[in-house]
Structure 1
Amino acid sequence: MATAGDPVPPPSDATGTPLPTDTPVGRIIAGRIAHDGPMTVGSYMALALGHPVHGYYTAREPFGAGGDFVTAPEISQMFGELVGLWLAVAWDEAGRPARPLLVELGPGRGTLMADSLRAMRMLPGLLDMADVHLVEQSPRLKAAQAAMLSQCGLPRPVTWHDDIDDLPADRPVLLIANEFFDALPVQQLVRRPDGLWSERMIDLDPDRPGHFRYGLSPDPSPMAQVLTQRIAGAPLAAVPPGSLAEVQPAAIAIAGRVAARIAANGGAALIVDYGHGLSAPGDTFQAMRAHAHTDPLIGPGLADLTVHVDFERLAAAATAAGATAHGPVGQGRFLGRLGIGARAERLARAAPDGTARAAIATALRRLTAPDQMGTLFKVLALTRATTPPPGFAPVPGFDDA
């Protein structure tokens, strides 16, 4: 009998085609299922992404043209610059509190923080008293971030943490989380004919050796208590049988903890991600490999696994913790209100040739156009103040256009 965590030897395939379970993480997952039974989608996602040796973020390079996806900071410096200016203005409008923490959750290669720091220098005093703290678990990515930020001329060393709870207490936070929440484990629930909700599970497929398949837990799931009471504008009780709903317990908890820090100590946070502004049913569990969608049950550890973020649920968690939630607004509208168009024009005037100017125009479109990142990607702000911060209130001349 297999023991928990032992790899299961993958079945042979006469054609030589790699089987879905035949990756280091896949064999570990298969071994655990063989020993313990089907696992939740959240457990599968956490292992595939975060296994300390073979997980996707531990062992692979996900970012850029040679990776599996491109994030907004990798598209253009304009994104990080405007985020940095937003955080600097938030600090200034809060009365310039002493010793703020500049925090990023899931900093990737450090590009966003580096661009933000450069823009923050426009407001004298902030970087002299602020300390940079990054929440990152991957040793490989920590090394990349260290190399990137070593060039930023910070007055004090960067500090890394594995968890947000490890951040110093009793200090204001200026926090950014870009494409962080979408990678947190999701629990998927399916409405049963009797009105209860059962957990969607992942199992070994007995009819196709070497493959995973979806199934349902026979018992009602306690995770149903975390569902919002309304989905897509309808009462939860009115959701028809067979509907699938998603819950990210870790995302809800982290949003609440960030908001509690802001409510207690001051500061502000920006959450940027793709998702829906209102809680809605549907299966958004997806995999991305080599810039194309693929089956999340094939080759765990070789592809990025994500879900669409439920911004309504994050905002509710933040409000319950004592902060004010602003938005979400579409990324295109947010960046437009902050003046990304004018910034692109200045960069274009300084560009050395037409090729560089075209690249700037392409980047601007990718970040802001409704059919690119402008609408699907959304921005949520958390502050103490109830007055909408920059980017969340209409701007004459822009919103009227």
Structure 2
Amino acid sequence: MRLSRAFIRAVSSPATVAWRSAQSRIFCSSPSDYRKSQPSMLKHLTSKIKATGPVSVAEYMREVLTNPVTGYYVRNNMLGPDGDFITSPEISQVFGELLGVWIISEWMAAGRPKQLQLVELGPGNGSLAADVLRVFGQLQSVLGGASVSLHLMEVSPALSDFQAQTLTGGGSQKADCEEDPVYRHGTTAAGLPVSWYRCLEDVPAGFSIFVAHEFFDSLPVHKFQRTEKGWREVLVDVDPEDSGKLRFVVSPGPTLASATLVQANERRDHIEVCAEGGVIIQQLARRILNDGGAVLIMDYGHDGTKTDTFRGFKDHQLHDVLLSPGSADLTADVDFSFLRRMAGGGVACLGPVTQGLFLKNMGIDTRMQVLLRNCHDPSTRKQLINSYDMLTNPTKMGERFLFFSLLHPSRLAAPTKPHGLKLEKRSPVLLPVAGFTDLSFS
């Protein structure tokens, strides 16, 4: 199945929903403690729903997260201890260091192309890219004369400010024209060019390593419920008993999304489908086939087994998804079986494997031994040990996060052992690439 952005817009449009309010049934309702003063996003949504009818969960997520005026990602810095959630790069620099080794490994396995574009989708506050680039600098002898550049796909002006400060200090400039595909550009302290884009299509062609850490889980999902009359889409409506509340309802009839996005052999009774993620994975697959490179996706997820994973986070706590929209992050686990299906048969899809397994195969144990051996401050040693536990412990992030990759088919047919570095080969069934075991950078 090939998806397009026009299709995404169509299935998310309330005009495609055959709606009769009297015939709908309530799926579940929100808590009764809504704020008396409605946030502007809630007012916007209630007005929209009253005018055009209930909206899909995908459209609700898109409005709440990326509305250009009041969207959560557009106007908030939600990362870190003072935000709503914290990610692996903020827990330990080792995470980004090992990812940098993975990227160089893939570049070497591809025959050391003269150009290496590092493309990050949803780069957060820029800390992951900074850690990766630091590894690039310390392994410059391996990269040789390759032309390295950083390309960031970011829709949030607020986050792009943080990324620019982290990566370029004061050395970035915004484009004069808002329509410019590169809306911001700069240079790192090491002299590497950095460019910002709003969409993947604007990233220039060329050999690229794409990384997406906690990006796909924030893309809008459609939710579907199996009923006696067949599959029906779960929608967001205004509570008829209280116009200041939102509620979930189930469409009384099929929608365009339920008729096209649900697989005929689906066995679950409730599913979530990220059509926008399908479009992006198809674009990435085409880029890999045409220009070479690799994709590494790191996210909460499952392999086609889970049902209802739509949830919100605020102040590091679970938050009702319909309560005070725009004040909390919204997320849904990534269905890697769907991404694999959308990627098609041209590229090699490997994984998902757990974060703990990936990091251990990439040499995190060796790296931590080096750091601890050179660390004499007790508080720093404790922090290193705690971060290692958080990243690899199966009860914490070790098994909750999964890693999934797309590779050019030639990568598996003729693996290359890089010169000058010990490379430990791994089974492609378990791990997309090999891991360096002699991490000598500081």
TM-score band, normalised by the shorter chain? 0.7 to 0.9
Give the aligned partner of residue 372 of structure 1.
Answer: 396
Bigger drift between 209-218 and 123-132 goes to: 123-132
Distance in 2, matches of 1:138 and 1:209, equals 30
| Partner in structure 2 of residue 12 of structure 1 | none
| Equivalent of residue 145 in structure 1, options 143, 154, 163 | 163
Give unmatched runs, 5+ long, in structure 1.
5-16, 230-234
Query: Which residue number corresponds to residue 95 of structure 2?
Result: 79
Q: Provide closer, same or farther for how the CA distance between residues 163 and 393 of structure 1 changes in structure 2, counting only shifts above 3 A.
A: closer
Question: Which residue of 1 is the match for residue 326 of structure 2?
Answer: 301
- Name the % identity: 37
Partner of 2:363: 339
Structure 2 residue corresponding to 1:269, chosen from 295, 306, 321: 295
The structural deviation recorded for 1:73 is 0.3
1:113 to 129, 132, 142: 129
Query: Is the contact made by 1:46 and 1:185 (CA closer than 8 Å) also made in structure 2?
Result: yes
TM-score (norm 1): 0.87
After superposition, the Cα gap between the structure-2 partners of 1:389 and 1:215, relative to the gap in structure 1 and judged at 3 Å, is closer
Deviation of 1:334 (Å): 0.2
Cα contact 2:150–2:195 (8 A) shared by 1: yes
2:199 is the counterpart of 1:163: yes
Indicate conservation of the 8 Å contact 1:197/1:221, yes or no.
Answer: no
* Residues 20-61 of structure 1: per-residue CA shift (max 9 Å, x gap): 881121111111011111111111111111111211111112
The answer for unaligned runs of 5 or more in structure 2 is: 1-13, 15-32, 170-187, 414-427, 438-442
* Match of residue 270 from structure 2: 244
1:172–1:128: structure 2 CA closer, same or farther, 3 Å change rule?
closer
- Alignment partner of 2:344: what SS? helix
Structure 2 equivalent of residue 226 of structure 1: 261
Q: Distance in 2 between matches of 1:93 and 1:300?
A: 45
Q: 1:228 Cα shift? A: 4.1
What CA distance in whole angstroms lies between the structure 1 residues aligned with 2:343 and 2:133?
26
| Secondary structure class of the residue paired with 2:373 | helix
2:298–2:401 Cα contact (<8 Å) kept: yes
Whether the 8 Å CA contact 1:20–1:298 is kept in 2: the answer is no
Q: Is the 8 A contact 1:133 1:160 kept in 2?
A: yes
What's the offset of the Cα at 1:153? 2.4
Report the CA distance between 1:344 and its aligned residue.
1.4
SS at match of 1:356: helix
CA distance in 2, matches of 1:80, 1:368: 14
Structure-2 residue corresponding to 1:13: none
Within-5 A mapping of 1:302-341:
302-320=327-345, 322-341=346-365
Shift of 1:227: 3.0
Which segment is superposed worse, 261-270 or 148-157? 148-157
Instruction: Choose which of 24, 27, 38 in structure 2 pairs with 1:22.
Output: 38
Counterpart of 2:412 (choices 368, 374, 386) is 386
Could you say which residue in structure 2 is the equivalent of 1:207?
241
Distance in structure 2 (CA, Å) of the matches to 1:336 and 1:21 = 49
Count of paired positions: 369
Q: Distance in 2 between matches of 1:154 and 1:302?
A: 37
**Residue 216 (structure 2) aligns with:** 181
For the residue of structure 2 that corresponds to 1:313, the secondary structure is: helix
The Cα RMSD (Å) is: 2.2
Q: Report the Cα offset of residue 316 of structure 1.
A: 2.1
Instruction: Give how far 1:148 is off.
Output: 0.8
Match of 2:25 in 1: none
Say which SS state the counterpart of residue 325 (structure 2) adopts.
coil
Rounded to whole Å, the distance in 2 between the matches of 1:21 and 1:248 is 32
> Match for residue 183 of structure 2?
none
Supply the AA of the counterpart residue of 1:183. Answer: S
Cα contact 2:114–2:145 (8 A) shared by 1:
no
Partner SS for 1:220: coil
Distance in 2 between residues matched to 1:126 and 1:207, nearest whole Å: 67
* Distance across 1 between alignment mates of 2:293 and 2:96: 18
CA distance in 2, matches of 1:281, 1:41: 17
- Does structure 1 conserve the Cα–Cα contact (< 8 Å) formed by 2:84 and 2:317? yes
* Structure ranking higher on relative contact order (CA contacts 8 Å, 6+ apart): 2
